[in-house]
């Protein structure tokens, strides 16, 4: 029997993710969205691609969560993009309310699932989904580090004219301007990047990686990236469903690791059937530790805003 994955949100990221997962062939997909007929239409279109792509995996569209019941894994992409004139806190609190509502439904219908969060601002939304779900920390994590690392690897491969497959890199911290690309852990075919590229060029690529999402938004004029994000999500889905024990960067809830406690931040983890099966603790220089703490502090600011809003609503 095929496993079952639900994708919440049928926008560009969610729909493209659903298609990529369906094309794996070994898991059925439920696409959920509040817009009437939208997920049904997109799901039918994907299903009709099956005879061409050679997959019998089902895709079902729904405006409710009943169809998603007993999912093995749920990907939450639902939320709004930042609009002109909208403050950071407006975006944060709107998407907090959306992801809280979604998570309550996910927990109701799939109490044993693993949740991958994708909604921005990523790290804060992972924190909100984790707290709302009541799930153990291994079953709630976020996709960002794989995407950030993929961007860094792409830029390095282009600069050196080498295969992206031979570029290994690692990006820690929050998904934003304060992310921490670890140059010391970056290599090409096992050769340290510092042996192949001048420090000034490396700094330029680090800066471009940090601004990677914004670069695409500026080019598109409307909307944001979805091809690379959906590929990154699918890599996480595969790691869990096939119990691959992949070592990948993910936004996970830390309980003292890296000196961070009670906060969701991007770190390397082991991903398998149990979700985040291990937080991989690697040695950091004082400069790297400082950068990671700075990144975590930016996440904490957002979490504090959410906490204050929840307290005001409750009281």
pLDDT along the chain (315 residues), means of 10: 96 98 97 98 98 96 98 97 74 96 98 97 97 98 96 98 97 91 96 97 96 91 92 98 98 97 97 98 96 95 95 85
Total number of domains in the chain: 2
Catalytic residue among 139, 151, 153, 175: 175
Instruction: Give dist(CA 92, CA 48) in Å, integer.
Output: 37
Tell me: do 96 and 217 sit in the same domain.
no
Tell me: do 74 and 15 sit in the same domain.
yes
Tell me: do 135 and 245 sit in the same domain.
no
pLDDT at position 159 is 98
Tell me: do 78 and 155 sit in the same domain.
no
pLDDT at position 313 is 86
Tell me: do 117 and 156 sit in the same domain.
no
* Residue 103 and residue 76 in contact, taking contact as beta carbons nearer than 8 Å: yes
Q: Name the percent of the chain lying above pLDDT 90.
A: 90
In a domain, 174, yes or no: yes
Tell me: do 126 and 152 sit in the same domain.
no
Tell me: do 47 and 89 sit in the same domain.
yes
Tell me: do 153 and 293 sit in the same domain.
yes
In a domain, 197, yes or no: yes
Q: Which of 89, 121, 142 is the C-terminal boundary of a domain? A: 142
Tell me: do 122 and 238 sit in the same domain.
no
Tell me: do 166 and 280 sit in the same domain.
yes
In a domain, 109, yes or no: yes
Which of 136, 72, 140 is CA-nearest to residue 110?
72
Residue for token digits 């369906």?
Answer: 22
Domain that holds residue 114: 3-142
In a domain, 111, yes or no: yes
What CATH number does residue 200 fall under? 3.90.110.10
Is 175 among the catalytic positions? yes
In a domain, 115, yes or no: yes
In a domain, 313, yes or no: no
In a domain, 314, yes or no: no
For the chain, the average pLDDT equals: 95
pLDDT at position 137 is 98
Q: Which of 124, 142, 160 is the C-terminal boundary of a domain? A: 142
What CATH number does residue 126 fall under? 3.40.50.720
In a domain, 247, yes or no: yes
Tell me: do 290 and 153 sit in the same domain.
yes
pLDDT at position 84 is 67
Tell me: do 135 and 154 sit in the same domain.
no
Q: Which of 142, 162, 195 is the C-terminal boundary of a domain? A: 142
């Amino acid at each position: 029997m095929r496993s079952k994955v639900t994708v919440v949100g049928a926008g560009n990221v969610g729909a493209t993710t659903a298609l990529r997962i369906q094309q794996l062939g070994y898991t059925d997909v439920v696409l959920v969205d509040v817009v009437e007929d939208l997920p049904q239409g997109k799901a039918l279109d994907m299903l009709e691609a099956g005879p061409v792509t050679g997959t019998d995996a089902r895709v079902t569209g729904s405006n409710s969560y009943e169809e998603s019941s007993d999912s093995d894994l749920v990907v939450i992409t639902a939320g709004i993009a930042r609009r002109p004139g909208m403050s950071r806190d407006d975006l944060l609190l709107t998407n907090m309310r959306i992801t809280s509502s979604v998570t309550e439904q996910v927990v109701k219908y799939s109490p044993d699932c693993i949740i991958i969060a994708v909604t921005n601002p990523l790290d804060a939304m992972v924190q909100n989904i984790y707290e709302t779900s009541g799930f153990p920390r291994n079953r709630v994590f976020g996709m960002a580090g794989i995407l950030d690392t993929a961007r860094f690897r792409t830029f390095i491969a282009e600069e050196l004219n080498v295969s992206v497959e031979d570029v290994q890199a690692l990006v820690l911290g929050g998904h934003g301007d304060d992310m921490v690309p670890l140059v010391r852990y970056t290599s090409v075919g096992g050769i340290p990047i510092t042996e192949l590229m001048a420090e000034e060029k490396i700094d330029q690529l680090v800066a471009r990686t940090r601004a990677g999402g914004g670069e695409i938004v500026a080019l598109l004029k409307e909307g944001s990236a979805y091809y690379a994000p959906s590929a990154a999500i699918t890599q996480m889905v595969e790691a869990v469903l096939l119990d691959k024990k992949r070592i990948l960067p993910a936004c996970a809830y830390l309980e003292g690791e890296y000196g961070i406690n009670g906060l969701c931040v991007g770190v390397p983890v082991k991903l398998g059937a149990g979700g985040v099966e291990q937080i991989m603790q690697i040695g950091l220089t004082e400069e790297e530790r400082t950068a990671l703490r700075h990144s975590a502090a930016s996440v904490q600011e957002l979490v504090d805003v959410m906490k204050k809003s929840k307290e005001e609503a409750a009281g």
